[in-house]
Structure 1
Amino acid sequence: MGAREANFDGLIGPTHNYGGLSQGNLASSRHAGLISSPRGAALQGLEKMAAMHAAGLWQGILPPQQRPYLPALHQMGFTGSDAQIFAAAWEKAPRLMRNLMSASSMWAANAATISPSADCADGKLHFTPANLSTMLHRSIEHEQTGRSLSRAFPFAAVHRALPEQSVFADEGAANHVRLCGARGDQGVELLVYGRDGYDSARAGYPARQTVQASRAIARSHGLDPARTVFALQSDAAIDAGAFHNDVVCVGAMQTLFYHELAFADTEVMKTDIRAAAKGVFEPIFVEVASAEVPMADAIKAYLFNSMLVQMPGEDRLTLIAPLETQENVATRQFCDVLTAGNGPIGTVKFVDVRQSMQNGGGPACLRLRVTLTEAEWADVHDGNRFTPALHRDLKAWVNTHYRESLAPDDIRDPAIMTESFAALDALTKIMDLGDDFYPFQRG
């Protein structure tokens, strides 16, 4: 049966702010304390989705999560009405509240690891929501992520997140690449990890993904061991600011596009992928040397945190890169050389997602890639499938409910909670998510 790749983008939430919460994410740290534009961020995200839909790609939407996340405050001993809890938590635990106000679920690449039905022993599409246990502000996402994925994909196997413990630290599809000859055929799944969870914590920035988490997901999804590759991320990449592998590597179809310092042992990675793909397809490796693009430029411009897609009717792949890649001299010159040849990547298109970029996430961070058969795409919940009508309704919703600007201290305003909850309540009706989708709706 024919299959295609769909991109499900995270809709940016109304509390989008520059809190600088993500250790090891240089862009997040660099822009901490600046004034954000929740309205501008959400509209930028919607325009990227609209462009992908107009190009003929399957495009989906994942809703933002509830912020502030009151269930965590209940669990930590705060009681009373929502307003009383909000005020008391800001007074007694302001650092905790900054984490519980984060709109980081916008980066859907971290939502889950996905294995398409062609790769799984039971012939079903599988999702494992990421526990994101390394960072407090992200560790609160997985329960609502599971609810959201179950709503969007009622036919799929949606697993529970792995234990919220350092041995099983899991960051989702940002450390996962699927290569294949044809979308509907069995592919090779590459799972990249930064450390052994049983070893002591490394020096430098956190290595967020463990090999134990990657192997557990491969087992629970029923992946063929012969078609599954595990690769170690390099310390050099992590300490340069590649907090996820998708900051230095992206792949699509047969092609893996990566920086030469992305992996601890590049030759082993390539050998393992060739062995896993043998008899199915011939992998293509596009390696970018440090001499062409220094690691610092690759990370600052997010060259690899781009979407690598197969456009309808195109033989070569298209790289959907942020404007920052065009503005950086080294990465712009590399893109010119890349597309001038006859390699697998023929076009680079630039999109404006600057609000997301300043918070540490590029075009690839904003989307969760899901390979679906035509029958599976038809069974996706209608409210999660992008259409021009839904685009129009969501733009009106953003312009009605979102603030134009938000300074870091503005998130202490009690009105931001009521505004956010009102916006999300309205969204559940637009996307037909049900009147019990969010915790505040369930009481």
Structure 2
Amino acid sequence: MLTEINFDGIVGPSHNYAGLSHGNLASTKNFGRVSRPRDAALQGLAKMRLNLELGLTQGWFMPQDRPDEAWLARLGTDMAQATPELRYAAMSASSMWAANAATVSPAPDTADGRCHLTPANLVTMAHRSHEWPGTLAQLQLAFAAKDHFAIHEPVPPPFGDEGAANHMRLCASHDRPGVEVFVYGVGATPFPARQHREASAAVARLHGLDPERTILARQSDEAIAAGAFHNDVVAVANEAVLFAHEQAFADREVLYAALRRQLPELVVIEVPADSVSLADAIASYLFNAQLVTLPGGGMALILPGEARATPAVWSWLEQMIAGNGPIRELHIADLRESMANGGGPACLRLRVVADPVTIDPRFLVSSERIAVAERIVTQHWPEEIAPDDLARPSLWQTVRVARSTLLDALDLDELAG
């Protein structure tokens, strides 16, 4: 039976605040802070537990190999000789944000009736541009059943593709044909627009999507300039509900009309700018929540603690819940370590609609398997990483051993490299 599965990235042991992501306000603001990788990973695992307790199907992806010496070798250097900027990039744990892992088109949407996945090339940012080979390896392992899945290579440069963080799917229900919305930027702001229109169109073609049910929508310049480096910072969709900020899209009325033509059931929950400013929406990651359908019916938002701590945001959410709309529950997850680097609940997960029995069971999560991961993280993840630590060979070895121990405990040694 087709089910939506949230695959969360386990926060890697090299999680640090190197301020590598231009346009991500939290990442820039917290550059140079001491990070807490152990806390970060445990917070992410706790969110997975929350999803299980809500009755949701949960999966995970493993941290990638860090430091990425193979990438540095292609640049003619190594960790000992690299500039600080390259060393930081080689140690990045940003693959934890699985929303950027790939774009996913479920079987009901595609011409061949298989679920298609295209890893994001992430070429806009150096520290993320070397993630895709590790991502591809995990996708090929987790979704190896070729009768059910098609795994593509990334869109070639220079067309930037940031994956599901700029992609939304709306449908009557997850197992019904959907309308896929690819949100792209143009770059008429101080910050780079990371998703290119050409990359979005290429992914739609690769996935065999119906052009009549495929929409390319431009993100507003105001949103990008305010720090919405991905669309999922200002909008999120689930089944027939689109939850978005008033200033998320360059031409929202055209988008809404196109959606309604294909999906008459569409419900747009738009947050007005005079109730919640773009600044508050981005600081709180209101829209970087997970919007999920509960097994018993109705929808819930899984929000970061920062949403509750932002008065305008929490007041608006309480008013919404008091009404009679489709979103009935609010759940808070403590993700302060991820949030300080610019990634909320939605950043940490990739949504895949598939039959769980067709997926490698090692990538599916139970409470018992989370407990195994929690034990490894508690024993092996560094408690703290200061900026100067990134130059220390002892940390590089600690990070490698920690990841290897986790892969061994979860029977995923073939990802060790």
**TM-score, normalisation: structure 1:** 0.92
Deviates more, 1:383-392 or 1:12-21: 383-392
SS where residue 47 of structure 1 aligns?
A: helix
| Residue matched to 1:146 | 136
Is the 1:151–1:433 Cα contact (8 Å) retained in structure 2?
no
Residues 1:108 and 2:104 are matched in the alignment: no
Structure-2 separation of matches of 1:430 and 1:241:
39
| Residue matched to 2:209 | 223
Cα deviation, residue 180, structure 1: 0.7
SS where residue 337 of structure 1 aligns?
A: helix
Is the 2:179–2:262 Cα contact (8 Å) retained in structure 1?
yes
| Residue matched to 1:287 | 270
| Equivalent of 1:249 in 224, 235, 239 | 235
| Equivalent of 2:371 in 392, 408, 429 | 392
Q: Please list, as runs of the form range in 1=range in 2, the aligned pairs for 1:32-431 lying within 5 A after superposition.
A: 32-78=31-77, 85-89=78-82, 93-155=83-145, 156-165=149-158, 168-195=159-186, 202-277=188-263, 281-314=264-297, 316-372=298-354, 376-431=355-410
Cα deviation, residue 88, structure 1: 2.1
Matched AA of 2:269:
V
Cα deviation, residue 191, structure 1: 0.8
Cα deviation, residue 341, structure 1: 0.3
1:240-291 CA-to-partner distances (Å, cap 9, x unmatched) read 00000000000101000000000000110001111222xxx51111111011
1:177-235 CA-to-partner distances (Å, cap 9, x unmatched) read 1111121110111110002xxxxx53411111111000000000000111111110000
SS where residue 177 of structure 1 aligns?
A: strand
Matched AA of 1:181:
A
Q: Give structure 2 stretches of 5+ with no counterpart.
A: none
Task: Specify whether residues 39 and 58 from structure 1 end up closer, same or farther in structure 2 by C-alpha distance, changes over 3 A only.
Answer: same
Is the 1:179–1:188 Cα contact (8 Å) retained in structure 2?
yes
Is the 1:152–1:380 Cα contact (8 Å) retained in structure 2?
yes
Q: How many residues align?
A: 414
Q: Which stretches of structure 1, 4 residues or longer, exceed 6 Å deviation after superposition?
A: none
SS where residue 87 of structure 1 aligns?
A: coil
Cα deviation, residue 431, structure 1: 2.5
Matched AA of 1:288:
V
Deviates more, 1:425-434 or 1:135-144: 425-434
Deviates more, 1:235-244 or 1:380-389: 380-389
Is the 1:22–1:135 Cα contact (8 Å) retained in structure 2?
yes
Is the 1:322–1:350 Cα contact (8 Å) retained in structure 2?
yes
1:122-171 CA-to-partner distances (Å, cap 9, x unmatched) read 11111000001110001110111010111111122110011121xx1100
Is the 1:247–1:302 Cα contact (8 Å) retained in structure 2?
yes
Structure-1 separation of matches of 2:190 and 2:76:
34
Structure-2 separation of matches of 1:43 and 1:76:
34
Is the 1:25–1:360 Cα contact (8 Å) retained in structure 2?
yes
Cα deviation, residue 422, structure 1: 1.2
Structure-2 separation of matches of 1:202 and 1:185:
37
Structure-2 separation of matches of 1:187 and 1:3:
13
Matched AA of 2:154:
A
Is the 1:228–1:276 Cα contact (8 Å) retained in structure 2?
no
SS where residue 81 of structure 2 aligns?
A: helix
Matched AA of 1:417:
W
Structure-1 separation of matches of 2:75 and 2:252:
45
Identity of aligned residues (%): 48
